[in-house]
Structure 1
C-alpha cells in the first residue's frame, strides 16, 4: 500500500492535462474521448449490469491460475463481493466504453473477463465489433456469460482457458486485434509473455490497455520495458492504466495524463 501511495504522489507531480499536450493525435483523444462529459445512454446499462451483480449474494467456487496453467488458489466467494473488489470502477467502465466508442475497433480481445464489467463496456462501445474475452475460472466465466446475454451484449465470445495456453494455441499470425485490454495477471513475467505473444496481431492503429501498471514495483518495471519496445510509439500513463499505440508515423512520446 505504501508503495502505491508513493507512486500515486509521483504520478500527480508529473501528470498533465490536454493543455500540455502538443501531439494532435493525443490531444484529440483527450478532448473528444477522455474528457467527454456528455451522458451516454449506455451508461445506464453499465450501471444496471453492476447493480445486478452487487445484489447477487450467491457463492461460487473461484479458481485462479498461475503461469503454465498451475492452479494456485481456489475458494468460495460471494458474487457481489467479487464484483466490488475485482471489478472495474464505474468511472473506469465509462472511460473504457468511450475508448471503444472513439476508436471503433473491429476485433477486441480481453485478457481476464472476471464478471464481465469491463467486457460490457468494450462491447457496448462498438456493438459491431467482435469481442473475445478469456477467463481461466469456469464458474466466474459462466456468470459473466449469463450477465452479458441478459444485457444484450451479443457481440461477445466467452472463452474459458488459462491465458497463455489460449494465446499459444491460437494462430495469432493471421489475427488482427484492434484493441486489447490486459487485466488477467499482474506479474512481470506473464504480462511480458502476453505482450510478446500478441505483437504479431497489431496493425498501425491497434490500441493496447494495460491495467494496474503501478500495482507493484514489478509492474512499474514491466511498464518501462513496454514503453521502450521499438514497436511502441506512443504511451499514455493514467496511473490505473497504461495505453500503448503503435502508430509508425508518430515520434516516440510518453505522456502522463490525469484522466
Structure 2
C-alpha cells in the first residue's frame, strides 16, 4: 500500500497537462482524446454493461494464472465483486473508448479479458475493428463470451497467454492492451514476444504500471527499449509508441 501512495505522490509532482507538452502528436492526443469532454452516446452502453455486472451476485470459480487479486484469495468469487475490485473503472473504459475511436486501430489484442469491461470499450470505440482477447480462466471466459455475444468483431480465446502468443506474434496489431499477469517477468516477456507485431502506428497500453515495484521496474525497462520512441505515463496506464519519425521522449500526463 505504501508503495502505491508514494509512487502516486511522486507522479503528481512530476506530471503535467497539455501545457507541458511540445510534441504535436502527443499534444493532439492529450487535447483531442484524453481531455475530450464530449458525452458520447456509447458512454451509456459502457455504464449499462458495468452496472449489469455489479448487480450480478452469482458465484464463479476462479483459475488465476497470474499473481491474483491483492484483496481476494478465495477461488470462488461473486461476479459483482470481481467487477468492483478488479474490473476496469467507468472512467478508464471511457478513455479506452476514446482512444480506439481516436486512433482507429483495425486489429487489436487484449491480454486478460476478465469480465469484458475493457473489451466492450475497445469494441464500441471501433466497431469495424477485429479484436482478439485472451483469458486464462475458463469459467470467466465462458461467462464473458456470453456477455459480449453481440460484438461479432470480438474473439475470446481461453488459456495460457504464452501458448497463444507464439501463434499470434506473426500477425500485426495496431493496439495491444496488456491487462494480464501483473509481474515484472511476465510483462517484459509479453512485451518482447509481441514486438514483432508492431507497425509504425502501433500502441501498447500497459495496465497498473505502479501496481508493484516489479511492475514499475518493467515499465522503466520497456521505456528504454531501442524500438520504443514515445511513452505516456498516466499513472494507471502506460502508453508505448513506436513511431520512427518521433524523437525519443517520455511524458507524464495527469488524466
TM-score interval, smaller chain:
over 0.9
**SS of corresponding position for 1:64:** coil
- For the Cα contact (< 8 Å) 2:66–2:182, is it kept in 1? no
Secondary structure (helix, strand or coil) at the match of 1:190 reads helix
| CA 87–171 in structure 1, closer or farther in 2 if over 3 Å, else same | closer
Match status 1:215 vs 2:211: yes
Equivalent residues of 1:181, 1:210 under 8 A apart: yes
> What is the TM-score when the length of structure 2 is the normalising length?
0.96
Find the partner of 1:255 among 234, 251, 255: 251
Deviation at 1:255, TM superposition (A): 0.1
Listed one character per residue, the Cα deviations across residues 78-115 of structure 1 (whole Å, up to 9, x for unaligned) are 11111111100010000000001101100000000000
CA 1:63/1:171 → structure 2, altered by over 3 Å: closer, same or farther?
closer
The aligned runs of 1:73-88 (5 Å cut-off) are 75-88=75-88
Residue 192 of structure 2 is aligned to residue 203 of structure 1? no
The equivalent residue for 2:27 is: 27
Asked if 1 retains the 8 angstrom alpha-carbon contact of 2:66 and 2:180, the reply is no
- Measured in 2, the distance between the counterparts of 1:171 and 1:12 equals 37
Structure 1 Cα separation of the partners of residues 98 and 240 of structure 2: 16
Deviation (angstroms), 1:171 = 4.7
SS in 1 for 2:64: strand
Structure 2 unaligned blocks of 5 or more: 68-72
What residue is the counterpart of 1:192 in the other structure?
Answer: 188
Instruction: Give the one of 145, 169, 172 matched to 2:169.
Output: 172
Q: Distance in 2 between matches of 1:241 and 1:129?
A: 22
In structure 2, what is the Cα distance between the partners aligned to 1:217 and 1:51? 32
User: Which segments of 5 or more consecutive residues in structure 1 lack a partner in the other structure?
Assistant: 68-72
For these two proteins, the number of residue pairs brought into alignment is 250
- Cα gap change, 1:228/1:47 in structure 2, threshold over 3 Å: closer, same or farther? same
Residue of structure 1 in register with 2:70 after alignment? none
**Does the Cα contact within 8 Å between 1:64 and 1:74 map onto a contact in 2?**
no
Question: TM-score of the superposition, structure 1-length normalised?
Answer: 0.94
Deviation by residue 1:95-137 (Cα, 9 ceiling, x = unmatched):
0000011011000000000000000000100000001000010
Describe the SS at the equivalent of 2:63. strand
**Residues 171, 31 of structure 1: alpha-carbon distance in 2 compared, 3 angstrom cutoff:** closer
